[in-house]
Structure 1
């Protein structure tokens, strides 16, 4: 049954893509840039100035985005300026209104926006392109309640599932769903993990979901509390989740990240870079090639550089890639959807 659901999902993706490719309307460029193009003796040909939306200044997107921007600025003719933002929703809005050229988004939010589903079900699907998938962001489910050992044990419990419009909430709903539960089976608390940590510590909150790169400092601080534990996902329910919601991937949180006794089995979404459809091909080529041809330099500046993998970058299949990205993948003989 789940295999059939998955088959229908993929068929619908293909139909959606054909419709978008047949009806896409290019946005009118808001301003013209005078660019002198030089093609001799240089591997890059564009001199575009791109704005990259990231995240909060204290967050991973902003920090890593600045590392990537410095490398691109140093190794190509394309210039990238990093801008902070409140959340992925603001990033998508900036792409839609033309105030940004590139943006970090989680893969699930990207898929919702492109399809016009879930958070975007009452809006027109957005037109943008994928550039690269960068690294995984695991769904981390924690509790300090000794009676909670599995997802089923969340039934009737007070659980933080992120803010109302966050991808964390929908990650929680997806996971609850494959275990036969829903938002109505728990007492949901809509707040960020930083805001709910005290509730977990004093017992007024039973469990919490958070989707973020591990190790997360707020979880590390909580790990010394009595009865603290992660809730793992079992293999059967993980497989069911991947069949119905293929923008997730299996993920393992290494025990050493939080000084645990065993690894934690969970799922993850990926941190993705998207761009406007009208961003020049040469600039996107410069952007992606500068990143993946200089991974060692980026890794020296930030630990996430070690996670960069061109094949993983080309693994997105719910949103079409920008021509500048496909040019790079084709040069490297990397298959993409």
Structure 2
């Protein structure tokens, strides 16, 4: 009798557990969005940024935290050589999301400039973020006050293959200066400002949102000078290279007494085309709706309503779905 009672209780418990499991499954299906979220989202993604002294790295770290918290995708920000390297890494399938300059993303997609014969076809845009100001950085003690003064000096044009290096070459060209006219150094932003501080180099090109961390660090110990671009050269650059816009490093940045005229490109986020529509939708929504959690000053100028402007490459369907929902 005891055996029969025990067997009956066991069978009832098993039946109850099966009913509860079925109900739980139905509840998840009826939950709609939460059920769909878990279906198509990857477990992990990498966000390619840039050097630690630039703007991509701190923003990328904040974006990774936001994506992890808001979507459940474990996002990790990685330091890199920035735009050109990032595009190559996406082509190889070794990451999913990356920061890039708009000009470099266009070159990559078209297979031009440094991507000649090596087009990156598997990328689409989430959207543009903010102006990336081209800053020619030096200090008062070098005596460098103009682009012409760079001739014969030790000048870092940025990490090898970076967008900054191409910007530097184009600006120098506008002034009739070849790379052979300077003592070219290929350093990332942090290495560049450390070199200026140590006196091992004289100046550096830095393409980054202002204030750039590496330049801020330099300004704590030295009188930073940002070399201005002449208006006729700015006009010539914008006419020859449509992705350039007129910009300035505002007074007060790095302790500057006056605003310094220059040009800028735009920073953008790109993704691999094979990342699902659901995943890119959730990533896009998470970032653009939680910018208040980003402490870097550049977050204040990021406007999702303008994110499609100047992207230069196709918008990923997942990002487009978000923009359509918001009416952008």
With the shorter chain as reference, the TM-score category is 0.7 to 0.9
- 1:165 positional shift: 1.9
**In 2 relative to 1, CA 198–54 (structure 1 residues): closer, same or farther, beyond 3 Å?**
closer
The equivalent residue for 2:131 is: 136
Q: What secondary structure sits across from 1:181 in the alignment?
A: coil
User: Could you tell me how far 1:134 is from its partner in structure 2?
Assistant: 2.0
Does the aligned pair in 1 maintain the 2:125–2:311 contact within 8 Å? no
What is the aligned partner in structure 1 of residue 65 from structure 2? 70
Does residue 212 (structure 1) correspond to residue 183 (structure 2)? The answer is no
Distance 1:168 1:94, change over 3 A: closer
| Correspondence for 1:332 | 326
Aligned-residue offset at 1:230: 1.3
Q: Which residue of 1 aligns with 2:156?
A: 160
8 Å Cα contact 1:39-1:45 kept in structure 2: no
C-alpha separation between the residues in 2 aligned to 1:333 and 1:321?
A: 15
Match of residue 195 from structure 1: 191
Larger Rg: 2
Q: Is the 8 A contact 2:48 2:95 kept in 1?
A: no
Q: Corresponding residue for 1:305?
A: 299
Question: Comparing 231-240 with 63-72, which one deviates more in the overlay?
Answer: 63-72
Structure 1 partner of 2:73: 79
1:97 to 87, 92, 108: 92
TM-score (norm 2): 0.77
Over 3 Å counting, the alpha-carbon distance change for 1:258 and 1:228 in structure 2 is: closer
Greater helix fraction, Structure 1 or Structure 2:
2
Cα root mean square deviation, aligned: 3.1
After TM superposition, the structure 1 stretch with the greater mean CA deviation from structure 2, 44-53 or 324-333, is 44-53
Q: Distance in 2 between matches of 1:167 and 1:65?
A: 17
**What's the counterpart of residue 6 of structure 1?**
none
Q: Of 314, 317, 320, which residue of structure 2 is paired with 1:323?
A: 317
> In 2, distance between residues paired with 1:102 and 1:51?
7
How far residue 282 of structure 1 moved from its aligned partner, in angstroms, is 1.7
5+ residue gaps, structure 1, are 1-35
CA distance in 2, matches of 1:44, 1:91: 32
2:253 aligns with one of 229, 253, 257: 257
Q: Secondary structure at the match of 2:33?
A: coil
Q: Does 1:291 align with 2:287?
A: yes
- 1:52 is the counterpart of 2:46: yes
Q: Assess if the C-alpha contact under 8 Å between 1:57 and 1:63 holds in 2.
A: no
Q: How much has 1:210 moved relative to structure 2?
A: 1.5
In structure 2, distance between residues paired with 1:69 and 1:38: 28
